[in-house]
Amino acid sequence: MAIKIICAWCGQWMGLKPANTDCSQPEPVTHSICLTCKKMVLNDAQEYLKQTSQNNEKAFRKEIVK
């Protein structure tokens, strides 16, 4: 029996992989992340870290001025 792989973010079908054990589910599914969603998530994370870093720097500067 094969396990269906789908993207956890967009639901895109990504292929099949062999099941290591017998599965009681009629259509077993596992999740991964497709390349398009991976790029989006990494870009979002990078932007978040950039904004967080800038906000922390602004807060630090305000504390120094006090």
Q: Left (φ > 0), alpha (ψ -120 to 50) or beta: where does 32 sit?
A: beta
Decide: 60 and 52 in contact? Cβ < 8 Å: no
- Residue 1: pLDDT band by 50, 70, 90 thresholds? confident
Distance, CA of 11 to CA of 23 (rounded, Å): 22
The overall pTM is greater than 0.85: no
> Domain residues for 43?
2-65
pLDDT digits (tens, 9 = 90+) for 13-49: 999 998 877 767 778 999 999 999 999 999 999 999 8
Q: What is the pLDDT of residue 52?
A: 86
The total domain count for the chain is 1
